Amino acid sequence: MNRGGSWRFISLFCVIPAILFSTKALLAEPVNLTELGVILPSIAVNAENVSIDLKVNVENDEPSTTFVTAHTASGSVLQRNNLGYWIPWSGKLDELINNFSTRTGDELFIKILKEENMSNEMFPIRITVGYETSSRLKFGVFELIKGHN
């Protein structure tokens, strides 16, 4: 991945002063990510069966890589690899794994979770999704919160 020196000092998670609470339905429409990061609506989930996909409007951008990371309430820092598994992540941007998300027109389809049993996890879980072009990185953040079963 192409990482300029300035990217090394960017913390994807320092720009998040608060997380907004909402419903999954709000993420049904494509979202726009930004270079400074955007706070997306939180998603309340049934912890026994969690499936989340996100559509991202890339407009005229040409994403070369996509990524998904998670910060859990228990302190784990994870990234989703291109096979859909969650693995430990160092927090270094140059160690992000390309998820090879599908693009159709101006939309990226990013898989985040598929039929995951998260009943043993502590909530909330902060999810970051993003993509990189030849000249910039854009991302957004939302929280998974435990809904009522």
Mean pLDDT, rounded, for 26-49: 89
- Whether residue 88 is contained in a domain is answered as yes
pLDDT tens sequence across 44-83: 999 999 999 999 999 999 999 999 999 999 999 999 999 9
Average pLDDT, the chain: 84
% of the chain with per-residue pLDDT over 70: 81
DSSP 1-65: ----GGGGG--TTTT-S------GGGGGS-B--BTT-EEPPPEEE-TTSEEEEEEEE-TT---SE
Neighbours of 26 (CB within 10 A): 14
Range of the domain at 114: 5-11+31-146
- Whether residue 119 is contained in a domain is answered as yes
For residue 90, list its beta bridge partners.
none
> Which amino acid type is present at position 94?
D
Can you give the CATH number for the domain in which 97 is found? 2.60.40
- Whether residue 134 is contained in a domain is answered as yes
Number of structural domains, the chain?
Answer: 1
Q: What is the pLDDT of residue 15?
A: 34
- Whether residue 20 is contained in a domain is answered as no
Q: What is the pLDDT of residue 27?
A: 59
pTM given for the model: 0.81
Q: What is the pLDDT of residue 29?
A: 85
For residue 125, list its beta bridge partners.
144
- Whether residue 26 is contained in a domain is answered as no
- Whether residue 102 is contained in a domain is answered as yes
Q: Give the H/E segment covering residue 121.
A: none
Task: Reply yes or no on whether the pLDDT at 40 is more than 70.
Answer: yes
Task: Reply yes or no on whether the pLDDT at 26 is more than 50.
Answer: no
- Whether residue 89 is contained in a domain is answered as yes
- Whether residue 142 is contained in a domain is answered as yes
- 58, two tokens: 């890339």
Task: Reply yes or no on whether the pLDDT at 148 is more than 80.
Answer: no
